[in-house]
Amino acid sequence: MKVDSQDRYVCLVSDRRERAERLASGIALVQPCRTIEPGAALPGGHPVAFVIDMAADRAEAESAAWIGRLAGLIRARAVPCLYLARGNAVQDAAARRLFGAAAMIDPRSAGIVPTLLRLVEEAQARANPGASVGGPRARVGTATRLVTRLFDAAAANRPPSPAVAEEGTEIVLDTVSEVGIRGWLDLVWRHDISVYQHSLSVAGFAAAFAAELGLSGADRRRLARAALLHDVGKALIPRAILEKPGPLTPEETRVMQTHADLGADLLGREAAYAPEILDVVRHHHERLDGSGYPEGLTAPRIGDLVRLVAICDVHSALTERRVYRPAMTHAQAFAIMEEQAGQLDPDLLRAYRPVVERAATGAPSLAIAAGG
């Protein structure tokens, strides 16, 4: 069985339940996290890192044996381990050695999640040296910086630079064709959760979809560029709403929904953005049955490019991790999208299915198990 990236998780071992909850929700922003208490069944699956927050100097034989088994498992897995210091220098040093922990940090430090990310990245770079400087990984870093510039300009109420959008689009197209949509998503979601990652993820799906449909080079570029820019109006939405860790109130929803018009109006001030790009930005939340916004358009008035980006946008949104809910698998997301066939174009959805399969498995073609 292939490992879906969503099966990979950080294992937090903690004997402090309240602190564990806070820590786990911080870690979950960047990687799925499972918490186990000392004495519980040892973790299975594919942990990418361990965070140890427990006293390791247990006197009772049973506890000591469990700790020994855990340490053996961590070493056998050869994945990074971060040990949270308990304040006794001698015992902490012994515990760090026992677990082979690459780093030790104060449990009250704000640097726990960044340190963990660094350890995971370093381990992945060691495991896959081809993905270092100049490789796909570096290009995703560049793409993130470019998208940041697009959104920074928009936040300052300036139309983002067409040249920067162009450069970002080329990176998405090149990298998705080189490493596939699965590889692209793994790279994009490694760092952070934000509207930048969402834009890169939707653009990646769009690039893969364009290739799946056999579109010409010019059309691929148009689709990927539209996807990259589709949510640029979110730069003008208050952060308190944009980053609210929970469902929005009706008034907040109304404000959030203005992002479509705001983005299109902003890009419309720059002649280099073609009308079909503005159409995508303004109408990517329109739905074929008229239930969308901002104008409640129905099928005859919703263009092809808009329909394509809408599918990629919904797929990405459903499979992204949110503070208030776990990520869905690609198969679960696609099942929901199929139920919304009155909203999303059913023919295009059928054509999109192989992209979903590749996103889930990295394989060129693999049937999605029903409900799996």
Tell me which residues touch Fe ion (CB under 5 A). 231, 313
Quick check: helix, strand or coil at residue 316? Answer: helix
How do beta strands 46-53 and 103-105 pair? Answer: unpaired
58 with 64: CB under 8 angstroms?
Answer: yes
Instruction: Assign 303 to helix, strand or coil.
Output: coil
Q: What's the angle, vertex CA 348, arms to CA 343 and CA 140, rounded to 5?
A: 100
Between 231 and 279, CB nearer to Fe ion: 231
> Roughly what angle, to the nearest 10 degrees, separates helices 112-127 and 17-27?
50
Nearest to Fe ion of 137, 259 (CB atom):
259
Which one-letter amino acid corresponds to residue 157? N
- Which is nearer to Fe ion, 92 or 231 (by Cβ)? 231
Closest distance between Fe ion and the C-beta of residue 198, in Å?
Answer: 6
Nearer to Fe ion, 231 or 345 (CB): 231
Contact 2, 363 (CB under 8 A): yes
Q: Which structure tokens are listed for 305?
A: 């490019």
| Entry field: residues in the chain | 372
- Give the shortest CB-117-to-Fe ion separation in angstroms: 24
Gap between the Cα atoms of 294 and 84, Å rounded: 49
- Closer residue to Fe ion, CB minimum distance, 49 or 305: 305
Give the contacts of 225 (CB within 8 A, at least 6 positions apart): 165, 166, 169, 277
Between 31 and 197, name the residue whose CB sits nearer to Fe ion. Answer: 197
Shortest approach of Fe ion to residue 74 CB, angstroms?
38
**Between residues 196 and 334, which has the closer beta carbon with respect to Fe ion?**
196
Is the distance from CB of 259 to CB of 231 less than 8 angstroms?
A: yes
Residue 20 Cβ vs Fe ion, minimum distance, rounded to whole Å: 33
**What is the smallest separation between the CB atom of 231 and Fe ion, expressed in angstroms?**
4
- Smallest gap from residue 230 Cβ to Fe ion (A): 6
CA 213/CA 303 separation, integer angstroms? 16
Smallest distance from Fe ion to CB 272, Å? 22
236 Cβ neighbours under 8 A, 6+ residues apart: 154, 155, 157, 258, 259, 262, 263, 266
